[in-house]
Each structure stands twice: as structure tokens, then as C-alpha cells.
Amino acid sequence: MTKNVFFSILVASGLTSGCSSITGTTNQSVSVQTREQSGGEVTGAACELTNKQGKWFVTTPGSVVIHRSNDDMLVLCNKTDYEPGRAAVVSETKGSMFGNILFGGGIGAIVDHSNGSAYEYPTLIEILMGTFTRIEPPKKEQPKSSSSTFGAPN
């Protein structure tokens, strides 16, 4: 009978443990820079970053800790004598989310999706004043295939 009690305690502690996320925290630090259309840096622009999780403010160049989300983050930057700069910053699903599905049986993935910890934004956001930009996550490089024979001149 003590074996059954021990097993029951072990199973109950596993089911009630607080660890539901293996993908990380719900917060992320992002840096924001503003530029003129000619490429020069614009300092001192007041920027507002917004997603479904909240609203944050930063003066450029600067950094701010935001709450991760699976939806686009809208960025609006204003400075006197400049047209506003706007961007929709797309979040990317972190690779560890798929491990969470495999190892967590799906429950961890649901939690991480809901609280935003499964997603991340680019760490550097460059806003071009006077324009609206959609900032996508960087594309993963595909391995290049080579048709040349090893050691053969090109």
C-alpha cells in the first residue's frame, strides 16, 4: 500500500508543478532607432510601441522592455519638423515552441501562446520617419547547393 501512496504523491506533484513554459519569459528588450529617409540618424523622437499586451514609450535611440505577443506590434514615432514614422513589427514563433509541444504534451504550448512567451520581436527596430513600414522577422538562410566539383576551378 505504501507503494501506491508514494506513486500517487509522485503523480500529483508532477501534475501540479508550476513549470508550464520551456520557451522563456513573457518580456523582451527591444531597441528603437529613427532615421531620415536619406539614412541619417534622428535622435530624440518620441516613440510609442503597442500590442495586445500593452503600451510602452521610448525616446530614440533607446531601449524598452515590452511584453511578447503573437500579434504585430505597432510603432509610432514623432518629432518636431519630421513626418511621423510608423511600423508594424511582426513577431516570430520561437523554435523552442515546437519542443514545448513535443515535451509538454501541448499544455505548455497553449500556456506559452496565451501569455506571449512563445514569440519574439526583432531586437532592433529601425523606424524611417515619414513612412509606414512592415518589419518582418529575418529570413532563415537556406543552404546553398553547389554544382561545381570539389577542387575544380570556377
pLDDT tens digit sequence for 65-102: 999 998 999 999 999 999 999 999 999 875 544 445 55
* Residue 38: predicted pLDDT: 95
Residue spans per domain, the chain? 23-135
Q: In the numeric block, which cell numbers belong to residue 122?
A: 526583432
**Fold of the 23-135 domain:** Immunoglobulin-like (2.60.40)
Round to whole Å and give the CA distance between 25 and 22. Answer: 9
**Cβ–Cβ under 8 Å, residues 56 and 62:** no
Write the CB contacts of 65 (distance below 8 Å, at least 6 apart in sequence). 27, 28, 29, 56
pLDDT of residue 81: 97
| pLDDT value of residue 94 | 54
Q: Is the pLDDT of residue 119 over 70?
A: yes
2-34 residue pLDDT tens: 555 444 444 444 443 334 445 578 899 999 999
User: What backbone phi and psi angles, to 5 degrees, belong to 16?
Assistant: -105, 5
- For residue 26, the model assigns a pLDDT of 87
pLDDT of 116 higher than 50: no
User: In DSSP terms, which residues pair with 72 in a beta bridge?
Assistant: none
Written as one letter, the residue type at 7 is: F
Let me know: does 58 contact 29? Beta carbons within 8 Å.
no
Tell me the percentage of the chain whose pLDDT exceeds 70.
58
Burial zone of 72 (CB within 10 Å; 0-12 exposed, 13-18 middle, 19+ buried): middle
**All three cell numbers of 120:** 519574439
Examine the pLDDT at 58 and tell me if it is beyond 90: yes
